[in-house]
Copies of this chain bind each other. A is one copy, B any other.
Amino acid sequence: MENFTFYSPTFFVFGKDTENEAGSYVKKFGGNKVLIHYGGNSAKRSGLLDRVEASLQKEGIPYVMLGGVKPNPRSGLVYEGIELCRKESVDFVLAVGGGSAIDSAKAIAAGTVYDGDFWDFYSGKPITEALPVGTILTIAAAGSEGSPDSVITKEEGMFKRGASGDAIRPKFSILNPALTQTLPAYQSAAGITDIMAHLYERYLTNTKEVEVTDRLIEALLLTMKHEGPRVIADPDNYEARANIMWAGMMAHNNSCGVGRSQDWNSHNIEHELSALYDCAHGAGLAVTMPAVFKYVMNHDVMRFAKAAVRVWGCQMDFDHPEVTALEGIEAFRSFLISIGMPKNFAELGAKEEDIPKLVEVLCRGDGRDGSIYGFVKLTEEDCTKIYQMMV
């Protein structure tokens, strides 16, 4: 195991009706004037925003509102939010929504107290200062509610890039599984896929002797395998939603990823898809992961065989471990298709003729040197082949 530090100071409030406590938690964490940052109209229609506003009013905390966050959140709205926060002397950003609203809120929180262009943070500068952020989560997927990370798409060039720093870790996150019951099945499935991707990106490691984190990752994958189909079959299943929601947080606060190298090639390869086609990130990952896994499988066959046996219930082929490894990848792919995820470029809305452009932005964009680095180093040629496998 490698040396590491681990810090996850977010105060989690989990369960039914907990969004009504938002005001008291803003107060507890020192907010005096709030930006409520949210996405589309569903939070409004469902009455969620009304309940959040009421809870702030109850505590006598003034607020301004900025909606309109889209999936794969854009830099344009972040600039708007920063300007609003400065103008209104906002000192606390409260995100209401999924990973997009939270990531956008984190960018606004960091940008408001920074002299330069907030995009600096998405070009490699660590975030060391930000307004405090709180979240009310409505989609189990991104894990942003418990992470120090944020991903934003820059409109000029459509670069999708990440930033990180403990300063943007949410002070509190409110997780009410009931809020996720109204999600369309496709979005639920995309969230399930994203959570499983966060687990696989950590599972694919070159660090030896990490049984504890291997086992924790497998535990969360097994949970998703069991609970995922239950919410697709029965969207109102609160218990299944609750199990997925906690798994989604644990999958990405890094408690199961410490002390080991991680992959993140699938995320990088997918980011170009959702940036270009504006598809759901989880849907893009569903098409990307099986291709990447098959392409890199021989780098460590036993690791893929382990996942196959321990997570997917395959029988180990002791004479031909590569058969078991491949069987596990196929089982994962079948699982993703069974919950309604796309299986190829066509179903995703992606086009074969765009592959050179995808590879160019992926491997050369934003100062990259022609390769991406994870579990395996992938060159432009490798990435081209992987995209072709997805067609």
Contact = CB atoms under 8 A, between A and B. Distances in A.
Interface of A: 1-16, 18, 177, 208-213, 215-216, 218-220, 222-223, 226-227, 239-240, 242-244, 246-247, 250, 255, 258-259
B12 A7 contact: yes
A48 B125 CA distance: 37
- Report the copy number of this chain in the oligomer: 2
Contact of A15 (B10, B242, B255, B259): B259
Contacts of A250: 212, 216, 255
A148 to B, nearest CB: 13
A151 B188 CA distance: 44
A302 to B, nearest CB: 16
A223 B243 contact: no
A255 B223 CA distance: 15
A49 B8 CA distance: 29
A220 B226 contact: no
B223 A219 contact: no
Given A4-B15, A14-B258, A243-B210, A222 B227 contact: no
B5 A8 contact: no
A209 B4 contact: no
Given A7-B9, A209-B242, A255-B255, 8 more contacts: A1-B14, A1-B177, A4-B15, A8-B9, A9-B9, A14-B259, A212-B243, A219-B219
A219 B203 CA distance: 14
A1 B239 contact: yes
Contact of A246 (B5, B212, B244): B212
Residue with the highest number of chain B CB atoms closer than 10 Å, among A6, A10, A11, A211: A211
A210 B240 CA distance: 9
A216 B213 contact: no
Contacts of A258: 14, 246
11 contacts: A1-B243, A3-B14, A5-B12, A7-B11, A209-B240, A212-B219, A215-B220, A216-B220, A216-B250, A242-B259, A250-B255
A5 B13 contact: yes
A255 B3 CA distance: 22
Given A210-B243, A223-B215, A250-B255, A5 B1 contact: no
A4 B14 contact: yes
Contacts of A7: 9-12
Contact of A216 (B11, B18, B177, B219): B219
A244 B210 CA distance: 10
A2 to B, nearest CB: 7
A227 B250 CA distance: 23
A220 B215 CA distance: 7
Contacts of A16: 3
Nearest to A2: B15
A355 B12 CA distance: 43
Contacts of A13: 5
Contacts of A177: 1
Contacts of A215: 219-220, 222-223
A223 B211 contact: yes
A18 B1 contact: no
Contacts of A212: 219-220, 223, 227, 243-244, 246-247, 250
Contacts of A219: 212, 215-216, 218-219
B18 A14 contact: no
Contacts of A222: 215
Contact of A243 (B15, B211, B243): B211
Q: Which 7 A-B pairs have the closest CB atoms?
A: A3-B15, A9-B9, A209-B239, A219-B219, A215-B219, A1-B242, A6-B12
